[in-house]
């Protein structure tokens, strides 16, 4: 059933003098992955804890399925969560880690066995191979899978993940992110995902909420936030951006490197000198120093690419550039 699953309205939270959240509004669609993305300290974890019910806001409301749950404890919210510190039980087997919560709640032995096996398969851990292993005998990525299995074994309608893959190798992380999307499709769960890593956010999200200093500054699908950033902050935090000041200094042109075209210096328009050319496998990344700004261009491999010291003209299509005022 599509539609709004959860919503926060006017959430404000202070810790002493720190304003961690400043009147945040956000909608989380059912069966979608919504990511809170922003630099360290911008309030992402605090927001997630308030959605989970682990923290209470000073002001504002949290609504699940149209019902005010602001003061409902976490265990009554039908959520699962995984924090960066996985808090797995190191002396227990994989099976027992996942089964723990079910045993505490008095599920029958056969029901526990069925659920744990199903969920281990869902997260890509063969129960025959890994069920009896201690979690200390697993790789970091496998431990993450156990943590996700433990959160999902109650079949929560919402899964909250706080930087779950932060300390993993790049390739393991990429693999788990695509598996997370598969798990989301198979379970239909609503996921709220916290990260400071824009690449992770781009890979995993249906919707991204960009946060800065306790506020949500832009919300939208990754493509929209990338193509139409509302500020120089969003443009430079989410993807790489050329930000060129206009006269007066309050207005800036934002243009993504792949839209920049370099041409012979005899062409009209902006001019600059190539200062750096880096081969990046699929393309060249060329840095040009112009009087107004340093400008990065993505240059395809077919054809000639400029070399350091070359004088070039710099151009882009008007409809690929944005002007923001701040």
| Contact set with ligand ADP (CB under 6 A) | 15, 18, 20, 38, 40-46
Name which of 56 and 182 has its Cβ closer to ligand ADP.
Answer: 56
Smallest separation, CB 41 to ligand ADP (Å): 4
Choose between 24 and 135: whose C-beta lies nearer to ligand ADP: 24
How many Å apart are CA 183 and CA 175, to the nearest integer?
12
Q: Which lies closer to ligand ADP via its Cβ, residue 19 or residue 324? A: 19
How would you classify the pairing of strands 158-162 and 190-195?
Answer: parallel
Q: Closest Cα to residue 289, out of 306, 312, 269, 320?
A: 312
Of 84 and 294, which has the nearer Cβ to ligand ADP? 84
Coil/strand/helix, residue 127: helix
The smaller minimum CB distance to ligand ADP, of residues 138 and 213, is found at 213
Buried b (16+ CB within 10 A) or exposed e, 52-86: bbebebeebebbbeeeebbeeebeebebbbbbeeb
Least Å distance, CB 316 to ligand ADP, is 33
* Closest distance to ligand ADP from the beta carbon of 34 (Å): 15
| Pairing between β-strand 251-255 and β-strand 158-162 as defined by DSSP bridges | unpaired
Count CA atoms closer than 13 A to 121's CA, side-chain side: 8
Task: List the beta bridge partners of residue 67.
Answer: 64
Residue with smaller CB distance to ligand ADP, 33 or 244: 33
CB atoms under 10 Å from CB of 142, counted, come to 18
**Short-list 224, 169, 179, 171, CA closest to 202:** 224
Q: How far is the CB of 282 from ligand ADP (least distance, A)?
A: 32
Using DSSP's 3-state secondary structure scheme, residue 171 falls into: helix
Q: Closer to ligand ADP by CB, 20 or 312: give it.
A: 20
Minimum Å distance from CB 39 to ligand ADP? 7
Q: How far is the CB of 40 from ligand ADP (least distance, A)?
A: 4
Beta carbon of residue 173, minimum distance to ligand ADP (angstroms, whole number): 18
């Amino acid at each position: 059933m599509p539609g709004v699953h959860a919503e926060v309205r006017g959430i404000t939270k202070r810790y002493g003098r720190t304003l961690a959240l400043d009147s945040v509004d956000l909608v989380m669609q059912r069966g979608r992955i919504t990511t809170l993305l922003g630099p360290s300290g911008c309030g992402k974890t605090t927001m997630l804890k308030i959605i989970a019910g682990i923290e209470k806001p000073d002001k504002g409301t949290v609504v699940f399925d149209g019902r005010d749950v602001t003061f409902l404890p976490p265990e009554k919210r039908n959520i699962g969560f995984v924090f960066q510190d996985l808090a797995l039980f190191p002396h227990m087997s994989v099976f027992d880690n996942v089964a723990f919560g079910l045993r505490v709640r008095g599920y029958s032995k056969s029901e526990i066995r069925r659920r744990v096996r199903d969920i281990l398969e869902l997260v890509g851990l063969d129960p025959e191979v890994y069920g009896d292993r201690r979690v200390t005998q697993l790789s970091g990525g496998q431990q993450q899978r156990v943590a996700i299995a433990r959160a999902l074994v109650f079949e929560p309608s919402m899964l909250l993940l706080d930087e779950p893959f932060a300390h993993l190798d790049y390739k393991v992380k990429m693999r788990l992110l695509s598996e997370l999307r598969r798990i989301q499709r198979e379970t239909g769960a609503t996921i709220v995902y916290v990260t400071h890593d824009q690449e992770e956010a781009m890979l995993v999200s249906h919707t991204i909420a960009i946060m800065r200093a306790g506020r949500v500054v832009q919300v939208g699908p990754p493509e929209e936030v990338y193509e139409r950033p509302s500020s120089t902050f969003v443009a430079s935090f989410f993807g790489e951006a050329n930000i060129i000041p206009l006269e007066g200094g309050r207005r800036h042109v934002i243009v993504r490197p792949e839209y920049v075209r370099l041409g012979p210096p005899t062409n009209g328009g902006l001019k600059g000198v190539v200062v750096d050319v880096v081969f990046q496998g699929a393309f060249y990344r060329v840095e040009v120093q112009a009087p107004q700004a340093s400008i990065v261009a993505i240059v395809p491999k077919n054809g000639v690419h400029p070399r350091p010291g070359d004088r070039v003209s710099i151009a882009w299509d008007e409809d690929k550039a944005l002007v923001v005022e701040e």
